[in-house]
Amino acid sequence: MNYIIQIKAFYDRLEINPLNSSEIALWFALMSINNKTAWSDKFTVAASVLCQKSGMKDTSKSSNFFKARNALAQAGLIAWKSRKGNQAAEYSITKLYSDLSTYSVGNSVDSSVGSSVDNRVDSSVALNKHKLNKTKTSKPASKKLAEDFEKLWKLYPLKKGKKPAFNAYKRAIKSGVTNKQIQDGIVALCKHVKDKNYLPYGSTWFNQARWEDDYPEDSPEPPVLKKPVYSDGEQCSIDIMQAFSTHDHDAQQATQALQVKYPDITLEDVERQVYPERFQKEDVF
């Protein structure tokens, strides 16, 4: 028996042949018991159990239970017969739908639900597979990127500002620059710039894409270093000193604060201003 179709047919029948609440409750109690017996044609159950399940307390001959049971039998919804002694009565429930309608509706429901579940499962599997593949490919790529940068960072002579340098490196690689280009740029810098006073910080070198610098083949003279260009150099110097003082003489924090107004300013620019003795061979602004 199809539980859902049977209940639907029962409610359809109630529209024409109404029952009271006790009769409806008893019918559902019998359906529940029959379901547990795997829809046996006949089954036995004690009156006390049915009363408990249907919310009726009294099992005396004049109680609502017996009235409800007789009403269901007269309505053709159930059949029952008593047994000898104190044995529980035997029941059978009338099927309220035809097998043809069950087949049609059941197949429709099963097909619809099955298709929906299959589609969801397939979509879920595909999505999880995509996420798994993405994770598998992205993690090694990220790890390799960091490893390649470490190799280049070891080559660079003035290791200052590693984190911003790494960020600049990632942007460069994403834009199509190769590790070989960057490596050749570092080698060329080390070959032509012997004095460390002429070396830019690592963060500056990577941020300014200095691997693109050209060096004369026959001259070891240091190249002209790139400097930030501001519309008002004097005001920039004042802002640097104020930021340096405001942030307890912490050049790194001062740089971060200044980048709001001067996006291209670097830690090296700030330190050249606040520690001029370290950079005596070059003017800053």
How does pLDDT run across 164-217, given as a tens digit for each residue? 999 999 999 999 999 999 999 998 888 888 777 778 888 999 999 999 988 776
Q: Residues 54, 66: contact at Cβ < 8 Å?
A: no
- Residue 260 CA to residue 253 CA, distance in Å, equals 12
- Residue 134 CA to residue 127 CA, distance in Å, equals 10
pTM over 0.85? The answer is no
The larger pLDDT score, comparing residue 250 to residue 195, is at 250
Q: What angle do CA 128, 130, 134 make, to 5 degrees?
A: 115
87: which residues sit within 8 A by CB, 6+ positions away?
A: 44
- Residue 42 CA to residue 30 CA, distance in Å, equals 11
* Residue 12 tokens, joined: 């359809």
Residue 141 has a pLDDT of 80
3-state secondary structure of 53: helix
* Residue 81 tokens, joined: 């017969």
Q: Is the pLDDT of residue 69 over 60?
A: yes
Return the percentage of the chain with pLDDT > 90, whole number.
37
List the one residue out of 246, 200, 20, 5 whose CA is nearest residue 109.
5
List the one residue out of 77, 96, 70, 68 whose CA is nearest residue 12.
96
pLDDT, tens digit, 9 for 90 and up, residues 116-171: 545 554 555 555 555 555 555 555 788 898 999 999 999 898 888 999 999 999 99
Q: Flag the least confident range among 31-35, 141-145, 178-182, 276-280.
A: 276-280
Please report, as a single letter, which amino acid is at residue 103: Y
- Residue 66 CA to residue 156 CA, distance in Å, equals 97
Q: Residues 232, 226: contact at Cβ < 8 Å?
A: no
CB-side exposure of 174: number of CA atoms within 13 Å?
7
